[in-house]
Chain A
């Protein structure tokens, strides 16, 4: 399953967005999932609400991995540049493959703190 970071109008909307994501991820525990995040928000350079959501989703990836789920996160550029997104989704979706990993496709995060 591929779950893409949704848009949120404000920080109050983060609660519902995280709940929906959580319910989707736990609905099929045997199925590997990839959470696609916006690099801008993982780098906390967008709105506070979007940063809170992106990092909350990243937290879910890590917590669910510890509970035995296969789930990874991938960041993509705002401009839709194809950095091999589809190939990475395939790789991160392999059963009994990687889990709990964050792959950042854009190189804009280099030189900045890692989430």
Chain B
């Protein structure tokens, strides 16, 4: 494969794994992140970086400028969560998650659309889109992202494919900071009997952006060890 792979949230665990996998597949990776560490991370990995806030117009423009006009794929991986019971969520808790996890991916895809001709988009949703306790904002955002994925797939076919990956419990700094007994209970609910790795997600993304998935669009692949059915 050739061209540019734009990976948002590229400084995080899953974003980095996706970026490394796509680079191994021959793509020139542009890591996008709000974090100050993105440039350092990109340098370590031999990739390009764009430090940008994709919830702003200036940030979207910066990413479009850095990506150029030969984008093989956009991986909308950036996301945040602000968990809490619905009754306790503030308007800002709710809106900020919708803005980052749903609106920004839509606006970035739209912005990069001219450069994506013949390419594809993968939106990183979540198994939580099916429902989760204490995450009304996150569930709404990720479920909305699935609706967006299907609609864009129809609108942009046959030129651009649009799919989603919905990870379940994945090994990240966040799960690493959980009390071991809490994490063990969560793992016990996964039919595959283990926590997922960032590479599990990256492998699925790599498949979806590859020619092997050229007949796949508008789909959601759950990378959750069977948790979505178990």
Interface of chain A, helix or strand or loop or mixed?
helix
Q: Contact check, B98 vs A18: say whether CB atoms are below 8 A apart.
A: yes
Q: Contact at B133–A62, with CB atoms within 8 Å?
A: no
Contact digits for B95-137, partner A, Cβ 8 Å, 1 yes 0 no: 1001100110011001000000000000000000111111111
Binds B, one of A51-59, A75-83, A86-94, A103-111: A51-59
A63 within 8 A of B: yes
Contact present for B144 and A14 (CB under 8 Å):
yes
Cβ of B86 within 8 Å of any chain A Cβ, yes or no, is yes
In the complex with contacts A12-B107, A22-B140, A67-B85, A48-B155 CB distance below 8 A: yes
Interface string of A1-27 (1 = CB under 8 A from B): 000000000011011101100110010
* Residue tally, chain B, CB below 8 Å to A: 40
Q: How far is the CA of A15 from the CA of B106 in the complex (A)?
A: 12
Residues of chain A lying within 8 A (CB to CB) of residue B85: 67
- Are A48's CB and B148's CB within 8 A? yes
Nearest to B218 among chain A residues (CB) is A44
* Chain B residues with CB under 8 A of A14: 98, 102-103, 106, 144
Q: Which residue of B lies closest to A58 (CB)?
A: B143
Residue of B nearest to A44 (CB): B150
CA distance A46 to B155 in the complex (A): 9
The complex places the Cα of A47 from the Cα of B110 at a distance, in Å, of 13
B residues less than 8 Å from A26 (CB atoms): 86-87, 136
* Chain B residue nearest to A46 in the complex (CB): B151
Given contacts A52-B148, A59-B140, contact A19 B133 (CB under 8 A): no
- Residues of chain B lying within 8 A (CB to CB) of residue A69: 86
Instruction: Please report B residues at the A interface, Cβ cutoff 8 Å.
Output: 85-87, 89, 91, 94-95, 98-99, 102-103, 106-107, 110, 129-137, 139-148, 150-155, 218
Residue pairs across A and B with Cβ atoms less than 8 A apart, 27 shown, are A11-B106, A11-B148, A12-B103, A14-B144, A15-B98, A15-B103, A19-B94, A19-B95, A22-B137, A48-B151, A48-B152, A51-B148, A51-B151, A52-B145, A56-B141, A56-B144, A56-B147, A57-B140, A59-B129, A59-B131, A59-B144, A60-B140, A62-B130, A62-B139, A63-B139, A67-B85, A67-B86
**Leading 10 A-B pairs by shortest Cβ distance:** A59-B143, A55-B147, A56-B144, A44-B150, A62-B131, A51-B151, A63-B139, A51-B147, A63-B136, A52-B148
